Amino acid sequence: MAEPVRRTRGGGGAARRAQRSAVSFETAKYIERNIPNFEVLNEEALEIIERNAETILEEIGVNFPDNPVALQRWRDAGADVQGERVRLPRGLARELIKTAPASYTQHARNPDRNVVVGGNSLVLAPVYGPPFVRDAAGGRRYATMEDFRKFVKLGYMSKWLHHSGGTVCEPTDVAVNKRHLDMLHAHMTLSDKPFMGSVTEPSRAQDSVDMCGVLFGKEFVQQNTVMTSLININSPMTFDDVMMGALEVYAQNNQACIISPFIVGGAMAPVSVAGTLTQVLAEGLVGIAYSQLCNPGAPVIFGAFVTSIDMNSGAPTFGTPEAAHITYGAGQLARRLNLPYRSAGAFCGSKLPDAQAAYETSNSLNMGLLSGVNFMLHACGWLEGGLVSSFEKFVMDADQLGTLHHLARGIEIDENAQAMDAIREVGPGGHYLGCAHTQANFKEAFWKSDLLDYKPFETWEDEGARDTQTLASLRVEKMLNDYQQPAMDPATREALDAFVAERKAAEPDSFM
C-alpha cells in the first residue's frame, strides 16, 4: 500500500545529511487514482451542455481582439470571422482538438520527478499569482523575490507536492519585465521538480523556452515537454492577444499549456451551474482548438477556474457547493473530450489560515480529487481569494495533500487486507494492537500528518496549547533551516546565471 517514494538525489553525504534531518526530503510520486470519478451530470444533461456550447460558438462566437494573425488562422480553418468576432461552425472546434494528446509527460531536471498529466493521474502544484504574502510574524505585505525563493524551497521539500509551480507569489521588488527571469532561475536552481513558464508577454514565454534550452539542452526541449504554463481566457469568451501570443510560443515549441476560463460565477458567467459549464466548455473548446491551429499535437490541459460570488459584496467565494458542482461537471466534459483536466486547489476566501480557510480548502481539495482533476494548481498556500500566498497555509495544505494520495489508493482487497487471520487471532472482546497482522501492517496502514496535533491534552497544554497556525509557523522555520539545494552541474548553473544577466542587461527596468 506504500506510494513509490523517491529520495532526493545528491551525493552520499547529502543523502546522509538529509536522513539525519527531521524534515523529509522525499517526494511522493504523482497520484495515480485507483478510485472512480464522481459524476453528477447524467448523459442527457451532458448532451444538452455540449449542444448549447456548439450553439454559442456558432451563433454568438468569441472575440480575438488585436490579433490579426489569430483571425487569419481561424479564417483558414473555416470559421466565420467578422471584425474580431470568430464564429465556429458546429463541430469545427471538436474536430480541431482531436490532435491534442490525452496525456503527456512533463520532464523535470531530476527525471525521478517527471510527472504524467492526464488519464488517471493527479499532479499537485502550489499557489500561483498572489501579489501579497502573509506569515504569522510579519503579517500581510507585498511579496518579494526573497519570499518567492522561500516558497520554492518549501515546495521542493514538501513530500506530497509534485510540481514547483510558477508564480508562487509575485515578486514585486523586481522589474515587471525581468522578474520572470529570476522566477525561472529560482525554480531551476532551488528545486528539481517540474515548473511553469512565463505568460505575461510572448517574449517572456520565449525567454522561458530559451532558458529551458540552457537547463535541459535545446534539442531535448524541442522533443520533450519541460513546462506547463497557465493561459487564462478572459471570460466571457474573449481571448486576450498577450495570452494567445504566449500560447502560440509554447505550442510551437511543444510545451504544454493549461487553457483555462477564469470565472467568478454571476460576473463572468451565468449565475447558474449549467450555464457556467456551457460557457466553460465553449471557451475551452476554442482555446484548445486554437492551440492545435498553432501546432497540431501540442500538449494542452482543459482548465476550469471557477468560483461563486457573494452577491451582497461582490466578493468571490471559495469551497462552495456551486463551485464543486462546476468542478465535477467540467471534469466529465473534459473526459468526454479525452483531454487532461485542471481545476480545484486550496481555495479559500479567509484572510487568515484559520478554520474558515481550512473548511473552504478541504471542500475544494476533496472535490478536486473526486472530480478527476489531472493537474491541480493552487494545491497549497492560497489565501484571501488568491491575493495572498501564506507561508503557514502552504505547509498546512501541503500536509493535507497526503490525504488525497491515500484516498486515491482505493481499498486493497487481497488476503492480507482481508485480515481474517487477525480477526480469528483476536476474537470477541480482544484487541488488535499487538496482533501479528497489526505489527506487520501498521506502518503503512494509515496516512499520518507531519503537522497536526494528536498529543494528549495535558502534553498539548504543557507545550503552550498551540493552534495549527503556530505549529505551521514552526514547521516553516524548520524546513527553511533544513533546506539543502539539490545538486546541479556547475557549468549549467553558470550558463543559467549568464542567461539571466544578459537578458536583464538588454533592456531598462519597467515596473508597468
Per CB under 8 A, contacts with its own copies among 458-477 are 460-461, 465, 467-469, 472
333 binds its own copies (CB under 8 A): no
Closest CA to 201 of 248, 236, 238: 248
Question: Collapsing DSSP states into helix, strand and coil, what is residue 63?
Answer: strand
- Indicate whether 357 belongs to the interface with its own copies (CB under 8 A): yes
Q: Which is nearer to its own copies, 41 or 184 (CB)?
A: 41
**Residue 37 and residue 331 in contact, taking contact as beta carbons nearer than 8 Å:** yes
Q: Is 436 in the site for its own copies (CB under 8 A)?
A: no
Chosen residue from 430, 485, 502, 507 binding its own copies by CB under 8 A = 430
Cβ proximity to its own copies: between 266 and 303 the closer is: 266
431 binds its own copies (CB under 8 A): yes
- Identify which range of 71-79, 193-201, 432-440, 494-502 contacts its own copies by CB under 8 A: 432-440
Q: How near is the Cβ of 431 to its own copies at its closest, in Å?
A: 6
Per the CB < 8 A criterion, the answer to whether 303 and 111 are in contact is no
Q: Indicate which single residue of 136, 176, 419, 474 sits in contact with its own copies (rule: CB under 8 A).
A: 419
Binding span for its own copies by CB under 8 A among 112-120, 216-224, 268-276, 292-300: 268-276
Q: Compute CA distances 217 → 7, 245, 494, whole Å.
A: 25, 24, 14
Q: Give every CB contact of residue 489 below 8 A, 6+ residues apart in sequence.
A: none
427 contacts its own copies (rule: CB under 8 A): yes
Q: What order of strands is seen across the sheet that includes strand 132-135?
A: 139-142, 132-135, 388-390, 382-383
The answer to whether 330 contacts its own copies (rule: CB under 8 A) is no
Name the DSSP letter for residue 36.
P
Nearer to its own copies by Cβ, of 75 and 424: the residue is 424
Question: For cell 481571448, what's the residue?
Answer: 239
By CB under 8 A, which span of 104-112, 166-174, 371-379, 441-449 interacts with its own copies?
441-449
| Count of residues that bind its own copies according to CB under 8 A | 126
Question: For residues 363-392, which are near its own copies according to CB under 8 A?
Answer: 363, 366-367, 370, 384, 387
Q: Is 332 exposed, middle or buried (0-12, 13-18, 19+ CB in 10 A)?
A: buried
**CA quadruple 143, 149, 153, 156: dihedral sign:** positive
Residue 269 in contact with its own copies, rule: CB under 8 A: yes
Q: Which of 285, 289, 195, 197 is nearest to 249 (CA)?
A: 197
Contacts (CB under 8 A) with its own copies, residues 63-92: 63, 85
Task: Indicate whether 5 belongs to the interface with its own copies (CB under 8 A).
Answer: no
107, three cell numbers = 520532464
Q: Which three cell numbers stand for residue 327?
A: 468542478
252 binds its own copies (CB under 8 A): no
Candidates 15, 136, 176, 274: give the one binding its own copies (CB under 8 A): 274
If one counts every other C-beta atom within 10 angstroms of the C-beta of residue 145, the result is 17
CB atoms within 10 A of CB 127: 29
Residue type at 196 in one-letter notation: M
Region from 213-221, 230-238, 287-295, 296-304 binding its own copies, contact rule CB under 8 A = 230-238
Site for its own copies in 120-159 (CB under 8 A): 140
Q: Indicate which single residue of 313, 481, 490, 491 sits in contact with its own copies (rule: CB under 8 A).
A: 313
The phi, psi pair for 433, rounded to 5°, reads: -60, -40
